[in-house]
Amino acid sequence: MTATPGAAEEAGTPAPDRARLVVVGNGMSGARALEEILARGGGERFEITVFGDEPHGTYNRILLSGVLAHAADAADDDELFLNPVGWYAENGVALHAGVRIVRIDRAAKVVLGDDGSVTPYDTLVLATGSRSFFPPMEGMWASRTELTRGVFGFRSLDDAHAMLAHVPRSRTAVVIGGGLLGLEAAAGLQAHGLAVHVVHPTEVLMNQQLEAEAAAVLRATLEDRGLHLHLGARTTEILVTDGAVSGVRFSDGSDLPCDMVVVTAGIRPNIGLAVAGGLETQRAIVVDDRMRSVDDESVFVVGECAQHRGEVYGVVGPLWEQAEVLADVVTGADPGAEYHGSRLATKLKVAGVEVAQMGLRGPERATDEVVRYSEPGIHQSLVIRDGVLVGATLVGDVSRAPALTQAFDSRTPLPVRRSELLFAPTSSGPAASAADLPDRARVCHCNRVSKGDLVASVAAGAESVAACMAATRAGTGCGTCRRSVTEVVEAALKDAAEQPAPTGRG
């Protein structure tokens, strides 16, 4: 479907005195860059055209596990869709949903679509994101472009719906990959009553985020909840009977019968368009500190397809920071704006188990201090360097995450009694809850919302948690900060209610 904005565009005549801005990619990063551009007056400066592979507006990809866990069609879910198709027309943006850009002609400054369209640009934003990685494996593909029946990736809304359609004729599922996405897919399928087996090549689940001891606690919790985990195992073949999945084979020669296979073996940045267009790529498209391609000042890049100072980020916080810098530079709001990389602090809900991780996973120097506490279902570890928190990992109990995140972000001196960081606080220790944090403390990392921002929204008239979330966008990214948002807003609402009503003088 295609959404077009106004009379000038519908008549086929370009709006006068506006440069042409084209955004390729309508996922979360591309849409956020677009929102930031519009917020800086970009609608008056540019004639904006957006291309997206998927036939939808922008949706929150982080919530796909919820779509999978619930059979109801979430296509009309207001929480899932960040910018529905109508939003683009309302904001004067031409959206071409379901149109793939297949070529960039940088000399002519045009992009070519698979629908035959040729669209000129003055400024081009590439937000092509990433794709599922399917390791080479016998039985994976029915043809060069079609997966074997019963094999799925888990990257898009269409993937989730295809999996849901297959669930009623399945009893056993195998998920290849024990990272965050794989465990979320496993939990979603388990919610439908399937026996779910997760196969992971290392002994450490979520090895990109967790060290071995934390992963062991997570493993025990997930096994208690009925997931079958095959760690240190490698799938070498997908078994096929009558054109459909019938099982998987491991490297030791053993077989596991199943009705469906979900491949979550990692992602790869979508850089094919950039490679064909002659832009420099390594793991992703190489950009400078202003989020421009190092080869072409008219081409900007944002999101999982961007490589900045050797880093490629896959969580929303850094991508939002990139989008802000890009918008500042593109619109001229701050031509000197620069992105210098991000310090990662993430809070996740993994198959129903809460996890928070920031900075280092473990000590790297002989002088690093480690504070560790563990019991069945709970793991908490801190890494302290020169009296400053440089890493924290929490599994099962993340109640201290807001205070630890504040300490991590601010690099403030820590209490002499390190145990106060994890247990009952004193006046010198970190805050007990998000409501006790200082106003400058960030509550929502995805949308960079501080406690002070939430309190200000209450002062401005917001009368509920939902109203504050709508005003500030807190809690609308990954959603794991909602408990902290609720604590702050409810405390602010209580304080506002207890304030004496102003009295007039007669």
Q: Are residues 296 and 386 in the same domain?
A: no
pLDDT digits (tens, 9 = 90+) for 273-320: 999 999 999 999 999 999 999 999 999 999 999 999 999 998 888 999
Mean pLDDT value of segment 386-399:
94
C-alpha distances in Å from residue 254, one per residue of 26, 177, 257, 301, 396: 43, 18, 10, 45, 33
On whether residue 475 sits in a domain, the answer given is yes
Asked if residue 132 has pLDDT above 90, the reply is yes
**What pLDDT is stored for residue 494 in this prediction?**
87
CA distance 496 to 148: 59
Read off the pLDDT band of 16 (50, 70, 90): low
On whether residue 290 sits in a domain, the answer given is yes
Q: Are residues 101 and 191 in the same domain?
A: no
- We report the CATH number of the domain holding residue 76 as 3.50.50.60
More confident residue, 433 or 126: 126
- Checking 409-414 for CB contacts under 8 A at 24+ apart, the result is 409/343, 409/345, 409/441, 409/442, 410/440, 410/441, 412/388, 413/387, 413/388, 414/384, 414/387, 414/388, 414/389
- We report the CATH number of the domain holding residue 373 as 3.30.390.30
Q: Are residues 101 and 211 in the same domain?
A: no
10 Å Cβ neighbour count for 332? 11
The dihedrals phi and psi of 453, each to the nearest 5 degrees, come to: -65, -40
Per the structure, how many domains does the chain have? 3
Contacts of 495 (CB under 8 A, 6+ apart): none
Query: Helices 451-459 and 482-498: crossing angle, nearest 10°?
Result: 40
Q: Are residues 182 and 295 in the same domain?
A: no
CA distance 190 to 196: 6
**What pLDDT is stored for residue 152 in this prediction?**
98
**Percent residues over pLDDT 70 in the chain:** 92
More confident residue, 256 or 470: 256
Residue ranges making up the domain that contains 402: 346-497
On whether residue 336 sits in a domain, the answer given is no
Read off the pLDDT band of 487 (50, 70, 90): confident
Q: Is the pTM of this model over 0.85?
A: yes
On whether residue 141 sits in a domain, the answer given is no
**What pLDDT is stored for residue 1 in this prediction?**
42
Contacts of 106 (CB under 8 A, 6+ apart): 277, 278, 296, 299
Tokens 């006790």 belong to which residue? 436
On whether residue 146 sits in a domain, the answer given is no
On whether residue 58 sits in a domain, the answer given is yes
CA distance 17 to 379: 59
Burial string for 221-245 (b: 16+ CB within 10 Å, else e) reads: bbeeeebbbbbebebeebbbeeebb
Q: Are residues 414 and 476 in the same domain?
A: yes
Asked if residue 222 has pLDDT above 60, the reply is yes
Contact criterion met (CB below 8 Å) for 183 and 229? no
Tokens 């500042």 belong to which residue? 328
